[in-house]
Amino acid sequence: MTVQVQQTDYLQDVAARFGAASRPADIQEYGSGNINKTFLVTPADGQGEPFLLQRLNTRVFQQPDRVMRNIRSVMRHLEKRSVPPAPAAGRRWEVPHVLLTGEGLDHWLASDGSYWRALRFIGQSQTIDAVRDPDQAREVGFALGTFHSLLSDLPISELTDTLPGFHIAPEYLARYDAVARSASARPSAEETWCSQFIAQHRDWVPVLEDARERGLLRLRPIHGDPKVNNILFDATTGQAIGMIDLDTIKPGLAQYDIGDCLRSSCNPDGEETERWQNVRFDPVLGRAVLEGYLAVARGFFDAADFDFLPASVRLIAFELGLRFFTDHLEGDVYFKVTRRGQNLARALVQLSLARSIDDRLEDLRALVRELR
Ligand code: GN1
Ligand code: MG
């Protein structure tokens, strides 16, 4: 009870820094992110707009000022850019603006060292954890295409790397190898399945970093984390209206984003399903996502971008499986869990998704040939 009250006072205090002047505001935990902690703050009647309060996970983002600097660069860029990409004209498009403290800062560093920020709450919107049908999938592609298109003329020199090594698949594999060497001598059947699957498909890992080193793919501004529940939909029309969670914006390969978006939106069972053996990549949804994406982004997509699309979808599913499994072996230090075994369950889902993508790789290649 006392802990609860202290916790509430603490949050009220932090919320007040960002303008929740009325106390007490209603503060509820919000969303399903795996990294940061998010709260919805609703000031008492007539005392201001609701907003999101987030505690940045500084174990993951060890230089949180860099995260905020990137978001500032992106916001400045979007404000300067008056013309939306043609297919987006006339549609609702929202940006998660950062709110300032009374002192004009974009974050609040609490005395216990925790790092807080606040974001405008975008009303009349919703997120989804799995895609329902091709129309929704087309909207997912449209959102990522619009986002890429809006940032396509932001020089990467204006962005910093908030998370060194993020999406560099060979580094995740090296980390896994190191952790696996000291893992339990008595693995469970599911752990054994994961390690065998990883051992059999190590050759999938270098495809994008090799292409980058050979100069085939270039760095550009990416979102970094465009999974389906980081896309906002209008609550009434169901149209995609924006991308949230801008912490991982950085110079990267568009293939990381498209791979992540496809692996996430073409898995109708979602990331948290317990029935991992049933997980399938849905090619009908895949076609719709790519059509929606290319309707906006075709202009800056070159031949090599198309060439590496199929392999990048398989890679990002495999990479995420590897990341979840490594975290499971390390004792759940990176991704938030509510129970022991959750990161293993998530790894099984992503690795069997990678297997399903691999089964369909020829179809994916044919689809890309058709759409290019
Ligand atoms: C994490 O924070 P959230 O839930 O949007 C992770 C992504 C993973 C995703 C899987 C910084 O994203 O890379 O794809 O979980 N973000 C970071 O659900 O590691
Ligand atoms: Mg995130």
29 domain-assigned: yes
pTM attached to this predicted model = 0.95
User: 274 with 364, same domain?
Assistant: yes
DSSP characters over 17-42: HTT--SSSPEEEE----SSSEEEEEE
User: 211 with 104, same domain?
Assistant: no
Nearest to 348 by CA among 194, 198, 179, 192: 194
Nearest ligand (C-alpha, residue 166): 1
Residue numbers in the chain where pLDDT is lower than 70: 1-6, 20-23, 82-84, 86-87
128 domain-assigned: no
Domain limits for position 254: 134-371
Grouping H, G, I as helix, E, B as strand and the rest as coil, residue 58 is coil
201 domain-assigned: yes
Nearest ligand (C-alpha, residue 316): 1
User: 118 with 228, same domain?
Assistant: no
- CATH for 333: 3.90.1200.10
What is the token pair recorded at 271?
């990331």
Q: Could you give the CA distance from residue 192 to residue 198 in angstroms, rounded to a whole number? A: 10
Specify the pLDDT at position 1. 42
Please work out whether the CB of residue 33 comes within 6 Å of at least one atom of ligand 1: yes
Nearest ligand (C-alpha, residue 335): 1
User: 302 with 211, same domain?
Assistant: yes
User: 168 with 117, same domain?
Assistant: no
Please work out whether the CB of residue 230 comes within 6 Å of at least one atom of ligand 1: yes
- CATH for 50: 3.30.200.20
Render pLDDT for 291-317 as a digit per residue (tens, 0 to 9).
999 999 998 888 999 999 999 999 999
Please work out whether the CB of residue 264 comes within 6 Å of at least one atom of ligand 1: no
Q: Could you give the CA distance from residue 364 to residue 372 in angstroms, rounded to a whole number? A: 12
Specify the pLDDT at position 22. 59
Please work out whether the CB of residue 227 comes within 6 Å of at least one atom of ligand 1: yes
Are the beta carbons of 243 and 230 closer than 8 angstroms?
yes
Residue 345 CA to ligand 2 center (angstroms) comes to: 19
Domain boundary among 67, 95, 123: 123
129 domain-assigned: no
Alpha carbon of 211 to those of 18, 71, 272, 291, 361: distances in Å? 44, 28, 32, 24, 19
DSSP code of residue 202: G
Domain boundary among 93, 123, 153: 123
User: 116 with 167, same domain?
Assistant: no
Specify the pLDDT at position 87. 67
224 domain-assigned: yes
**Exposed e or buried b per residue across 193-221, where buried means at least 16 C-beta atoms within 10 angstroms of its C-beta:** bbbebbeebeebbebbbebbeeeebeebb
User: 189 with 279, same domain?
Assistant: yes
Please work out whether the CB of residue 35 comes within 6 Å of at least one atom of ligand 1: yes
**24 cis-preceded (ω within 30 degrees of 0):** yes
User: 222 with 332, same domain?
Assistant: yes
Domain boundary among 123, 156, 175: 123
353 domain-assigned: yes
Are the beta carbons of 50 and 41 closer than 8 angstroms?
yes
User: 152 with 282, same domain?
Assistant: yes
Distance of CA 61 to the CA centre of its chain: 14
63 domain-assigned: yes
Cross-sheet strand order for the sheet of 240-243: 125-126, 231-234, 240-243
User: 354 with 234, same domain?
Assistant: yes
User: 152 with 290, same domain?
Assistant: yes
Element at 173 (helix H, strand E): helix 169-181
User: 253 with 167, same domain?
Assistant: yes
Are the beta carbons of 263 and 181 closer than 8 angstroms?
no
**Count of structural domains within the chain:** 2
93 domain-assigned: yes
Specify the pLDDT at position 82. 65
In ligand 1, the atom with minimum distance to the C-alpha of 35 is: 2
Residue 57 CA to ligand 2 center (angstroms) comes to: 10
